[in-house]
Structure 1
Amino acid sequence: MGSTLATLLIAVLGFIMVAGLGFALAGGDNGQAKTVKRAQALVGAEGRPGGRRRPAVSAQDQRRRQILKTLRDQDRQQKKATLSISAKMQQAGLGDNVRNFWIASGVVGVVVLLVVLLLRQSPFIGLGLGFAAGFGLPRWVLGFLAARRVKKFTEAFPDAMDIIVRGIRSGLPVHDSLRVIARETAEPMAGQFNRLVEGIGMGVSMDQALEKMFEQMPTPEVRFFAIVLAIQAKTGGNLAEALGNLSTVIRARKLMREKIKALSGEAVASAFIIGSLPPGVMALISMTAPEYMKPLFTDPRGHMMLLAGAVWMSIGIFAMRKMINFRI
C-alpha cells in the first residue's frame, strides 16, 4: 500500500512540475484587456449614466468611440484566436491541420511512457509523465514556435509601414504599396501581406482581409494598422501621416520592450535558478544518498511533505511568472 501511494505521489509531482514549468515558460495572457481599458479612459465619463453629456458630439469624440468599439470587437477575436490550436499552428507557420498536432502529441506521450517502462519504473509514474509530456510539451513547443514567428513579424512591421508611407507620398495607391511589401520583404511578413493582397484582389474588402490577417497574427501592431485603415476609410484624413505616426509608436514600443528586458534580466535569471533549485537538489541527493531521501517515499509523513512541497512549488512558479512577465 505504501509503495503504491508513493508511486502515485511521484506521478502527480512529475505532472505538476512539467506542467507548471511549461506554463511558466510558454507565457499566457497577452495584456490586450489593458489596451481596451486605456481606450475606455480616453472616452471618459461620457458613457456613464451619471456623467454630464454635452449637447453636441465633436468629431474627436466620435473618433474615440469608434476606436473603442473596434478595440472591443477585436479583443474578443484575439481571445478566441489565442486559445485555438488551429490559430496557434497558423501563427507558427505549420498550417491548420489540428489532427496532425494531436497525433504528434499522442506519439510523444507514448514514447515517454515506453521510456519510463524501459527504465523499470512504476507504470503510474510512466502514465503521469507520459500524460504531462503528451499534453504539455507539444503545446509548449507550438507556443514557442508561434511566439518566435510573431516576434519576427513584429520586428519587421515598422519597416512595412515605412514602405506604405513612402509609396503613398510618391503617388502609389495603397494596394500597390501592399504588393511591394509582399514582393520585397522576407517571411513571415511577405506571406501575410501576400495573402492580404490576394484577398483584396479576389474581391474581399479591406476590413475583412485585415481581420483575417489579424487572426493569423494577433498582435497589437496589426490591430493598430487595421484600426488606422478602417478609421481613415470612414472619416478620411492623411493616411501617410497616420501610418508614419504608427511606425514611430511601434518603434517606441520595441525600444521600451528591450529596455524592460535589460532591466528585468536579473529577476528572470533569479526566477529560473530559484525554480530549478528544489528539484535539482532533490535529484542530486537521491543519487548520492538514496537512503537519506528514502523516508520521503516510504513514510506517510514524507508523502505529506512531498505534497506540500509540490503545492508551494507550483504557487512559487506562478508567482514568479507573474513577476517576470512584463507586457507593454
Structure 2
Amino acid sequence: MKMQTLALAFLAATALGGLAWVFLYPILSGERKAENRRASIARSEPAASRQTDKNQRTRREQVEGSLKELEARRKKDKRVPLGVRLTQAGLDWTTQKFLVISGILAAVFFVLALLFGGGLLAAIGLAFAGGFGLPRWALSYLKKRREKNFLKALPDAVDVIVRGIKAGLPLFESIKVVAADSPDPLRSEFLAIIETQAIGMPLGEACARLYERMPVPEANFFGIVIAIQQKSGGNLSEALGNLSKVLRDRKKMAEKIQAMSMEAKASAGIIGSLPPTVMLLVYLSTPGYISVLWTHPTGQLMLVGCVVWMSIGIFVMKKMINFDF
C-alpha cells in the first residue's frame, strides 16, 4: 500500500512539474517575450526582404545587361571583315585580290583532280578545300604568327617606354623610340599609332585602336592603360611597369601550358597521322588493293566520308588540347 501511495505521489509530482515546465517556464525564462520579438521581426521582414529582393533583382539585371553587351561585342569581334583579317595577317592585299587568288586555287585543284582520275565528286571537294579552306587557313596561320611575334616583343617595348618616361621623355617620344628600334610587326603597329596621332587623333584613342589591328588581350591592356592615363592622369611609369610584369607573367603561363600539353599534342599528332600513313604504306605494297578507294564511285564516297570523320576527330582533339587563359 505504501509503495502504491509513493508511486502515485511520484507520478503526481512529475505531472505537476511537467505542467509547470510547459506553462510557467516560458514566462519566467523570457522565452515568451523572445517569441513575441521574433514574431514582430518576422512581420516586419517581408517589407525589408521585398526591398532586398528588389535591389538584388536590379543588380542582377544590371549584371545581365553588362554580360549581354559583352557577349554582343564578342560576337561582333568574331564577324571580322575579310579586309580587316588581311590587315591583321600583315598582308597589303585587297579583298578582290584575295578572292581572285582563291578562285584560281579552286580551279587548279579541280583540274588536277580530274586529270588524276579522281572523279567529279572528288574534284568538287578538292576545289572547295583549295579555294575556300586553304587560303583562309593560310590567312589564319599568318595572323597567328604575326600575333606571336608581336607578343614576343611587346614586354621589352613597354619596358623601353617605362625607362624613357622615367628619364623625362614624353610618352609620344618614347613610342617613337620603340617604333624606330623594335622588330616587325611591333614597329609597324607603333608607326601606325604615330601616324594616327599625327593626323589629329588623341594619343589614348590611337593606342586603343591598336587592338583592332592586333586582336590580342595584351594589346587591349596597353591601349586601356594609355587611354585611362590620358583621361585621368596618374603615374604612367608605374602603370606601364605593372603592365609589363603582367605581360611577362602571361607569357610564362602560356609557355608552361604549352609544355604541359606537349604530350597530348604529340599523341594527337600520332593518332591523326596513322590513317594516311597506313594508307600510303598499303599503296606502296599493294597498289591495286587500295586504289579502289579513288577509282570506284563507292570507294570515292567512302574516302570522302573518311576525310570528313578524320577532320572532325582532329578538330575535337585540337579543342581538347588547346587552352585559353
Match of 1:191 among 188, 193, 203: 188
Deviations 1:156-199 (A, max 9, x none): 00111111111111111111111111112121111111110121
Shift of 1:212: 3.1
Match of 1:49 among 51, 57, 67: 57
Q: Does 1:92 align with 2:100?
A: no
Contact 1:275 1:317 in 2 (8 A): yes
- Which residue matches 1:134? 131
Match of 1:239 among 232, 236, 248: 236
- Which residue matches 2:310? 313
Q: Distance in 1 between matches of 2:253 and 2:75?
A: 26
Task: Give the stretch that moved more between structures: 287-296 or 254-263.
Answer: 287-296
Contact 1:228 1:243 in 2 (8 A): yes
- Return structure 1 stretches of 4+ with deviation > 6 angstroms: 67-74, 294-297, 302-305
Deviations 1:36-72 (A, max 9, x none): xxxxxxxxxxx952659xxxxxxxxxxxxxx999977
> For residues 269 and 142 of structure 1, do their structure 2 counterparts lie closer, same or farther at Cα, with a shift above 3 Å needed?
same
- Which residue matches 1:79? 78
| Percent identity (aligned) | 46
Q: Distance in 1 between matches of 2:162 and 2:221?
A: 15
Contact 1:162 1:244 in 2 (8 A): yes
Deviations 1:87-127 (A, max 9, x none): 22112221251111111111111122222222233233222
- Which residue matches 1:279? 276
Q: Distance in 2 between matches of 1:73 and 1:306?
A: 40
Q: Distance in 2 between matches of 1:299 and 1:182?
A: 59
- Which residue matches 1:105? 102
Larger Rg: 2
Number of matched pairs = 269
Q: Distance in 2 between matches of 1:135 and 1:246?
A: 39
Q: Distance in 2 between matches of 1:101 and 1:299?
A: 34
Q: Does 1:250 align with 2:247?
A: yes
> For residues 214 and 177 of structure 1, do their structure 2 counterparts lie closer, same or farther at Cα, with a shift above 3 Å needed?
same
> For residues 142 and 303 of structure 1, do their structure 2 counterparts lie closer, same or farther at Cα, with a shift above 3 Å needed?
closer
Q: Which residues in structure 2 correspond to 1:125-164 (within 5 Å)?
A: 125-164=122-161
Contact 2:158 2:241 in 1 (8 A): yes
- Which residue matches 2:118? 121
Q: Distance in 2 between matches of 1:251 and 1:68?
A: 29
Q: Distance in 1 between matches of 2:69 and 2:170?
A: 25
> For residues 296 and 139 of structure 1, do their structure 2 counterparts lie closer, same or farther at Cα, with a shift above 3 Å needed?
closer
> For residues 202 and 76 of structure 1, do their structure 2 counterparts lie closer, same or farther at Cα, with a shift above 3 Å needed?
farther
Q: Distance in 1 between matches of 2:126 and 2:308?
A: 18
Match of 2:200 among 200, 203, 214: 203
> For residues 150 and 70 of structure 1, do their structure 2 counterparts lie closer, same or farther at Cα, with a shift above 3 Å needed?
farther
Q: Distance in 1 between matches of 2:89 and 2:288?
A: 47
Q: Distance in 2 between matches of 1:179 and 1:299?
A: 63
One-letter amino acid of the structure 2 residue matched with residue 168 of structure 1: I
**Secondary structure of the corresponding residue to residue 171 of structure 1:** coil
Q: Distance in 2 between matches of 1:136 and 1:279?
A: 20
Q: Does 1:228 align with 2:225?
A: yes
Query: What is the RMSD computed on CA atoms of the aligned residues?
Result: 3.3
Task: Give the stretch that moved more between structures: 218-227 or 205-214.
Answer: 205-214
Deviations 1:127-151 (A, max 9, x none): 2112211111111111111111111
> For residues 177 and 117 of structure 1, do their structure 2 counterparts lie closer, same or farther at Cα, with a shift above 3 Å needed?
same
TM-score, normalising length from structure 1?
0.71
Shift of 1:219: 0.9
User: Unaligned regions of 5+ residues in structure 2, if any?
Assistant: 1-54, 61-65
Q: Distance in 1 between matches of 2:75 and 2:223?
A: 15
Shift of 1:321: 0.9
User: Unaligned regions of 5+ residues in structure 1, if any?
Assistant: 1-46, 53-66
Shift of 1:295: 7.2
Shift of 1:215: 1.2
Deviations 1:250-307 (A, max 9, x none): 011111111111121121111111112123323432443355447767596x788667
Q: Bigger relative contact order, structure 1 or 2, given CA contacts below 8 A and separation 6+?
A: 1
- Which residue matches 1:8? none
One-letter amino acid of the structure 2 residue matched with residue 267 of structure 1: A
> For residues 275 and 69 of structure 1, do their structure 2 counterparts lie closer, same or farther at Cα, with a shift above 3 Å needed?
closer
Contact 1:78 1:215 in 2 (8 A): no
